[in-house]
Structure 1
Amino acid sequence: MPVYRVLIPDAHLDDQEIEKSVSGDRLDYAVYRERDPSAVPDEEWRTCDAIQIWHKMKLTADVIAKLDRCKMIVRVGVGYDNVDTVACARKGIPVCNVPNYGTTEVADHALALLLYLVRGIGTYERQLRADPVKGFLAEGAPVVRRIRGATFGAIGLGRIGTAVARRAQGFDMKVIYYDPYVSEGHELGLGIERVKTAEELYARADIVSLHTPLSPETRNYIAARQLAQMKKGSILLNIARGGLVDIDAVYDALKSGHLDAVGLDVLPVEPPRPDHPLISAWRGNEPWIAGRVAFTPHAAFFSEAGYIDTRVFSTEIVLDFLFHNHLRNNVNPGWRTPILG
C-alpha cells in the first residue's frame, strides 16, 4: 500500500495525533505553523501528494505553480477564499472543503454576540469590576433592548444561515432572509419570510447577520452605501468572512450613531491592526463606543468537538480520494478539464 505525503502548512497545533488516528500509516505528514508560504521550503510544496490547509495562509497562483505532485487540496474548514481555485483548476488539482463541521457552534456564536450586546453583558461586567457597589446598576448599557418581536435579517440561508435563523426564531424574532441561490420554497419549511432584494432586508431588519462565502462579488458586501440603507439603530453581525464588511464604513456608521452596534468574529485583516480606528476606539473603551462592539478572534467555529470533527473529516476526504478515487465536497469542479493559458 502506498504512503502519501500530506503537507499542512498552517497547522493550528504541532501534533497531528487526530489526523494520524484516522490515517494510520497511510499518510506521512509534513507540518508547519506558518502564515507566509515562503516560510515553507519549496521542496515541501513540490513533493507533497496532498495539502490540508487551515485559514491562516493563502495559496496563491505562484505557490500552486510549485505543486508538481499534489493530487488534491482540502480546506480544513468551510470557507475556501484563501485558495486560488482557478489556479488549482489550471493544474488539474481538485479543491475540497469540510462543510459538515462547526455549523452549530457558528450559529450559537452569532446569537451569543447578539445577546452579549443586547443584554449589556460587557458593560455590566466592566462597571461591576470597576466598582462592585456603585456599578451594581441595570441602567447605562447602551444597546440593551427587547429582541422578542424584532426582525432578524439573514443574508444567505445555507447550512449556517438556516441554523442561525432557527435560533433567532427560538428567541421569538421575526426572521426574513435574502439568498438568490437558494431554491424557492426553502422558507416554507422553516416558517420564515423570503425577501426579493438585499435592499428590502436592510430597510426592514433590526439585526442584519451575514452568512455568505467571500468572493470577488461579495467582498465589501456591507460598505457605506449598504449601512446607510439599514434602519437607524440596527445591529450588524458577521461570523462568516472578514472581507464581507468594510470596517472603515462600520466605524463611521457607529460614530454617527446610525448603526447601534456590531458583533464581529472575523475581520478583513487577521490578526487586526491595533491602530485601526475601530480597533483602537474599542480597545480604549472610548465613551462613544463602549458597549456597542463585540469582537472575537475568528473563534465561532471552535469547540473541542468541532475541532476534532474538522480534522477527522478533512483527513477522511484525503483518504477517500487518494485511495478510492472518491471525491467529496469539491468546490472547483472545472479541475477535471484543466484550464489552459
Structure 2
Amino acid sequence: MARYTVLTPDAQHDDDHRVEREVAGGDVDFIHYTTADASDIPDETWEKVDALLVWHVLPIDQRVLSRLKNCKIIVRCGVGFDHIDLATAGGAGIPVSNCPDYGTNEVADHAIAMMLTFTRGMTAYHRTMTADPTGNFHWKHGEPRRIRHKTFGVVGFGRIGTAALLRAKAFGMHIVGYDKYAPRGQEIALEIERVESLEEVLERADVLSIHTPLTEETRGMIDAAALKRMKSDAILINTARGPIVDTAALIDALRNNEIAAAGLDVLPVEPASMDDPLVKAFAEQPNWLKDRLILTPHAAFNSAAGRYDARANSTRTMMRYLETGELWNCVNGAFLKA
C-alpha cells in the first residue's frame, strides 16, 4: 500500500492531527504548521507533499502552487474557498475540494439565534439587567416583536440557507428566497416563495439572512443602494462571508435608521480591523447603536461536533481520492486539465 505525506499549513488545532490520523489510518505522515505565511514552510516540504489539508488562514495562491511538485489534491477543511486560486490549481492538474458536509446546522442555528436575539429584545434586557438587576427588573426595558407571519428573506438557499429557512418556517414565518443558481423547482420542494431579483427580497424581508459564497458577483452585494431598499424596521444577518456586506454603508444605514439592526458573524477583514467604521462604532457603542448591532468572531460554524466533522470529513475526501481516484466535492472542475 502506498504511503502518503500530507501537509496542513495553517492548522486550526494543536493536537498533531489526532482526528486526521484516526480517519486516515497508519499509512499517512502528517506535517503540521500553524502559519499564515507560506515562507515559514521549507520549499522541500511543499515539494514532497501528496496532499494539502488547508483551513482559511494561509492563501493558496500562485506562489504556493508553484512550489507543489507532487501534490495530488487540495482539500479545504471548511466550506469557503475564495482564498484558493482555483484556476491555477486546475491548470496544474490539482483538484480542489471543499467540505460542505459540516457546520450546516451550527451556522443555521447561529443565524436564527441572531434573529431571535433582536426580535425578543435580548440585548436590551441583558444590558439593562446587567446595569441594575433590581431596578431594571421590568419588561418595559425591551421591545420584542412578534415574528409569526413576518417575512424571512434568504439570499442563497443552498445547504445552509435551506437549513436556516426551514427553522424560520417553524416559527411561522413566510419565506421569500432569491438564488439565481438554485435549480428550478427547488422552491417547490421547500414550499417557499421564490423571487427573481435581489431587489425584491430586499424590499420584502423583515429579516434578511445572507447565505451565498463570496464571488466577484456577491462581493459588496449588500451596499448602500441595497440597504436603502430594505424596510426601516428590517434586520440584516450575515453568517456567510464578510466582504458580501459593505460595512461602511451598513453603519451609515444604522445611524440613519434605514434598517433596524444587524447581526454579523463575518467581517471584510478578520480579525476585526479598527479601520472599519462599523467595528469602530461597535467598540465605542454610541447611544444610537446600542442593542442594534451584534458581532461574533466568525464562530457560527463552531461546536465540538462541527470541528470534528470538518477535520474528519476533509480527511475522508482526501483519502478517497488518494486511494481510489474518486473525487468528492470538487470546486475547480472547470479549470482541471483533461
- 1:195 to partner: Cα distance: 0.6
Deviation at 1:47, TM superposition (A): 1.9
CA–CA distance in structure 2, aligned partners of residues 44 and 286 of structure 1: 50
Partner of 2:4: 4
Deviations 1:214-245 (A, max 9, x none): 11111111111111111222111111111111
| Counterpart AA for 1:51 | L
Q: Which amino acid aligns with 1:324?
A: T
Contact 1:116 1:294 in 2 (8 A): no
What's the offset of the Cα at 1:293? 0.8
Indicate the residue corresponding to 1:308 in structure 2: 308
CA contact (8 A) 1:14 1:32 kept: no
Q: Secondary structure at the match of 1:203?
A: helix
- Find the residue that maps to 1:320 and give its secondary structure: helix
Which residues of structure 1 form unaligned runs of 5+?
A: none
- Corresponding position of 1:26: 27
Task: Give the alignment of 1:140-179 within 5 angstroms.
Answer: 140-141=141-142, 144-179=144-179
Matches of 1:231 and 1:330, distance apart in 2: 39
* Structure-to-structure mapping, 1:1-341, within 5 angstroms: 1-15=1-15, 16-141=17-142, 144-337=144-337
User: 1:227, 1:155 → 2: CA distance?
Assistant: 14
Matched residue of 1:51: which SS? strand
Identity %, equivalent residues: 45
SS class of match (1:30): strand
TM-score (norm 2): 0.96
SS, match of residue 218 in structure 1: coil
Instruction: Find the residue that maps to 1:268 and give its secondary structure.
Output: coil
CA distance in 1, matches of 2:105, 2:184: 24
Please state whether the residue corresponding to 2:272 is helix, strand or coil: coil
Q: CA deviation at 1:275?
A: 4.4
Answer yes or no: is the 8 Å Cα contact 1:50–1:72 preserved in 2: yes
3-state DSSP class of the match of 1:45?
helix
CA shift, 1:307, in A, is: 1.0
Alignment partners' CA distance in 2, 1:169 and 1:236: 17
CA distance in structure 1 between the aligned counterparts of 2:118 and 2:29, rounded to whole angstroms: 46
Q: Distance in 2 between matches of 1:80 and 1:146?
A: 37
Contact 2:7–2:52 (Cα < 8 Å) also in 1: yes
Residue correspondences, number: 337
TM-score by length of 1: 0.95
Q: CA deviation at 1:44?
A: 2.2
Deviation, structure 1 residue 37 = 2.2
Assess if the C-alpha contact under 8 Å between 1:6 and 1:29 holds in 2. yes
Matched to 2:132, the amino acid is D
Shift of 1:274: 3.0
1:4-33 Cα deviation digits (max 9, x unpaired): 111111111121111111112221111111
Question: Is the 1:89–1:332 contact (alpha carbons within 8 Å) kept by the matching residues of 2?
Answer: yes
What letter matches 1:277 in structure 2?
A: P
Counterpart Cα distance in 1 of 2:242 and 2:7: 26
Q: Deviations over 1:170-213 (max 9, x none)?
A: 11111000111112221122221001111111111111111111
What secondary structure, in the 3-state scheme, does the structure 2 residue paired with 1:52 have?
Answer: strand
Q: CA deviation at 1:115?
A: 0.8
- Is the Cα–Cα contact under 8 Å of residues 247 and 276 in structure 2 kept in the other structure? no
Distance 2:140 2:83 in 1: 44
Give the alignment's Cα RMSD to 1 decimal: 1.4
Distance in 2 (alpha carbons) for counterparts of 1:335 and 1:203: 37
Residue deviations 1:273-312 (CA, integer Å, cap 9, x gap): 1343211222222211110011111111111111111111
* Contact in 1 for aligned 2:219/2:244 (Cα 8 Å): yes
How much has 1:335 moved relative to structure 2?
4.4
8 Å CA contact 1:105–1:303 kept in 2: the answer is yes
Give distance in 1, aligned partners of 2:270 and 2:147.
31
Letter in 2 for 1:115: L
The code of the aligned residue for 2:33 comes to: Y
In 2, distance between residues paired with 1:305 and 1:224? 38
Q: Quick one: which amino acid aligns to residue 55 of structure 1?
A: H
